Amino acid sequence: MGGASLRPEDYDPRLNDFVLSLARSGRPRVCFVPTASGDSPVYVANFYRAFSGHHDCEPSDLGLFERTVADLRGFVLSQDVIWVGGGNTASLLAVWRMHGLDIVLREAWEQGVVLCGVSAGMNCWFEGSTTDSFDLTRVAALPDGLGLLPGSCCPHYDGEEQRRPLYTRLVAEGALAPGYAADDAAALVFEGTELREVVCTEDGSTGYRVDASGEEPLPARLL
């Protein structure tokens, strides 16, 4: 997801209705992973408010800074959807690796759990990405993702002015592998490692294939 919000004042349930439709259960178990925000209590509260108030599901959250889940593998594999929040991608990856969550998430993906997320929660699944993890005023390359999806990615493509020119330049220069970008109101839908479609919640929002020759807008389906 390029920039989906969970804040009550601008929450749009359509994208998460779509996410839940991909789950293997009629009433999916949805786990929010707020690591990138430092397990922000406000972010966690917004998740529960959104998913309890708008969707027929069983929400839960996984905190790692004050961890209470001893059996990480059992907990994660019991979920139908893993929803990763935004924040600091580099810190997210470091904490996940320290706890072994990176390995567990790969196993969950291989077993059919839906993996999704916004911003840092989009970046993490690819081999590389653009991030403001090291300086909030300056976006940079981060070639250190989990690599479940090949290539690189860029969220907030139309929402943050540095993202588009930087990403196209980094790919053209070979600092990041070719990949995909998503506007704030768009999401890329992968089945395995193949892009199946692009969905959006606003007319004109879409995803893009970006390689050394430039960007190619992709057709998007309005939810």
- Which residues are catalytic, by number? 119, 156
Report the largest interatomic distance among the alpha carbons of the chain, rounded to a whole angstrom.
Answer: 48
How many CA atoms does the CB half-sphere of 72 hold within 13 Å?
Answer: 17
Strand partners, 198: 188, 220
For residue 96, give the 3-state DSSP assignment: helix
CA 207 to chain centre: 14
User: What torsion, rounded to 10 degrees, do the Cα atoms 86, 103, 181, 137 define?
Assistant: 40
Q: How far apart are CA 7 and CA 163, in angstroms?
A: 23
Residue 112 Ramachandran class (φ > 0 left, ψ -120 to 50 alpha, else beta)? left
The answer to whether the CB of 213 falls within 8 A of the CB of 206 is no
Q: How far apart are CA 71 and CA 124, in angstroms?
A: 22
